[in-house]
Chains A and B, each alone.
Chain A
Amino acid sequence: MSREEIQKLLGGYATDTLGEAERRALFEAALEDQELFDALAKEEALREVLQDPSARQQLIVALGPAREPFAARAWRWLRQPAALATAGGVAALLIVAGLVLHQTKHAHREAMVADAITPGPPAPVAAIAPSAAPQEAKKSPVVGRQLRRLAPLSAPRALAAPQPAAQSELAEGKLSTAPAAPPPQQPAPMATGALDGPAQANGQDVQVQMQAQAVISRNAALGSVRAAKAAPSAANLAVEYTLLLKDVDGVYSPVPSGTVFHAGDSVRLQVAPSEAGYIYLFQRNASAGWSLVASQRVEKAQRYALPSTGSLQSDQPAQLELLLVLSRLEQTAFANPQAADIDALASGASSPSAATAAPADFGARLVDARKRVGAPQASFKITIEYR
């Protein structure tokens, strides 16, 4: 032991803490070192006091209760109600903070994906041959990155089956169906095919919106590398409608769906299209076939009464068959419709049985039953019962 280490043994002399070897080392050093010997001699006073057991006990009492080991102290502290409450509160706070952080990160990542891949109006792709798609994808790292980012989103197969909730969101204009509604005369081309289908609703507006945007963006991204049919929009066409009955004051008021009308009742159709475009109302006459009752330009989610002048009426008990056509493009041929064409539209029309949940102030909501996302037009058959 060095001199410094031996000097540290001094504290153990008065309390008789030293072992045999420690005592020998200390005393041998003291015989050779006067300073250490003097220090040892001064300790003698303390040693005399501490050799009295009662004096030791008095000092032990003065030192206070023994300190527990760290683990025991920690456990005892944790068992206190206040400590338990504090620890529980902190734990709950950490859990909530973790969840919030996780959700924030998740939402931020989704938003970044949507922002990153949402392009401007898709470029026309007519000049690009379908076979060039893989090569283009390889050449363009941006496109490749877009595709990779899109990969975790809804698979095309999952998008194939439209969900009413999602359609409702789309038709009501809650969802961003960018690119913006295109001019009817010059619809923006976009890809369809494997990506056809509405956004799959999952009950969360944000997620539906993200998926819808992702579908649109994905269509747009792929539109530059895949040859596809031109389509003006990615959403299913839909129309909300209700029947208006003219009262004695000449005012048209909504009536519940399924209302049975009496001969002579004047009826109008109030519609609100899901997309801007043109709407056409045909009425079937038993003898003359389909005739155009009303047609006009319509804006998305705006309400229109059809016909705007006059009314639908039957002077005898009958079934009044109506055909409502919503088209993104103006159909000049409807001015003089060919019976076969209208019959074809009627045969493929969606009927109220295919209606989905409608707003409270609407009688019904009709969605293109053929589930053709981006179809240029959709037809809906409505029957009014007169008794």
Chain B
Amino acid sequence: MERDQILLKLRERIVAFAASHVQGDIAEDLAQEVLILLHEKYHHVDRLEELVPLSLRIARFKIMSLRRKSQRRGEYTQVSVTDIQLPDLEADPATLVERKLMLERLTQAVAQLGDRCRELLRLKLQGKSFGEIQKRMGAQSINTVYTWDHRCRQQLLDLMGGGWEPEKK
């Protein structure tokens, strides 16, 4: 798949995703900002395996920024989208605090998992691939490991209240 085709599909998906978090016109602008950033700063990235996670990360960053701005009573809402500075994707103090809180919740939740899920998550965190996990845990097939992981992920999500991040008002 060519880069332009990928970006075209990415825009469509990002607009739909952002629309569920912000207002419709802002969602369009947000998607546009992501594509501009990919074009200007990450023009050398053209593989699907890199473009998708990168665009997801930028989109998340934009959404979080928008939320913070709106929380500050619309201080920056009058600013044109084109005037918004390009993000460096480095974590600001607020993001660091959010990550720390999320890590605490995660730490409490993983301790409540069953033996198999804990072992599976441990191996994943150690950087093992699904193939290696299959051998290590003695699973008959890789699909068995996929199924285990799917259930464990769902179990962990439930333990964390249904989402990785707390619901934001």
Contacts and interface: CB of A to CB of B under 8 A. Distances in A.
B164 A8 contact: no
B118 A30 contact: no
B122 A58 contact: no
B70 interface: no
A169 interface: no
Contact of A41 (B6, B59, B118, B125): B59
A164 interface: no
What class of interface size applies to chain B in its complex with A? 35 or more
Interface string A26-45: 01101110100110111111
B131 interface: yes
Contact of B13 (A24, A37, A66): A37
A52 interface: yes
A249 interface: no
Contact of A45 (B52, B60, B111): B60
Given A49-B103, A50-B125, A60-B125, A31 B153 contact: no
Contacts of A128: none
B80 to A, nearest CB: 26
B99 A63 contact: no
Given A31-B13, A31-B52, A42-B164, A11 B126 contact: no
Nearest to A50: B125
B119 A66 contact: yes
B138 interface: yes
B110 A63 contact: yes
B22 to A, nearest CB: 13
B159 interface: no
Interface string B135-169: 00010000100110110110000000001110000
A300 interface: no
B124 A7 contact: no
Contact of A15 (B6, B111, B125, B131): B125
A333 B8 CA distance: 136
Given A19-B129, A58-B107, A63-B122, A49 B49 contact: no
B38 interface: no
B150 A23 contact: no
A55 B103 contact: yes
B81 interface: no
Interface string B78-120: 0000000000000100000001001100111011010100110
A24 B110 contact: no
Chain B contact residues: over half helix, strand or loop, or mixed? helix
A64 interface: yes
Nearest to A52: B99
A181 interface: no
B13 A67 contact: no
Contacts of B1: 28
Interface in A1-21: 5, 7-13, 15-20
B130 A31 contact: no
Contact of B119 (A10, A34, A50, A67): A67
A261 B10 CA distance: 132
B17 interface: yes
A30 B52 contact: yes
Contacts of A34: 13, 16-17
B129 A45 contact: no
A64 B13 CA distance: 39
Interface in A36-85: 37-38, 40-50, 52, 55-56, 58-60, 62-64, 66-67, 69-70
Given A17-B130, A31-B6, A63-B110, A11 B59 contact: no
A13 B56 CA distance: 12
A16 B125 CA distance: 9
B146 A63 contact: no
Contacts of A265: none
Nearest to B63: A41
A98 B64 CA distance: 73
B57 A44 contact: yes
Interface string A115-154: 0000000000000000000000000000000000000000
A63 B118 contact: yes
B133 to A, nearest CB: 8
Given A19-B131, A45-B102, A45-B165, A69 B138 contact: yes
24 contacts: A5-B143, A10-B150, A11-B152, A11-B153, A12-B149, A16-B127, A18-B129, A20-B49, A23-B49, A27-B53, A31-B48, A38-B17, A38-B20, A40-B52, A41-B17, A41-B59, A46-B102, A47-B53, A56-B125, A59-B103, A59-B107, A60-B126, A67-B119, A70-B138
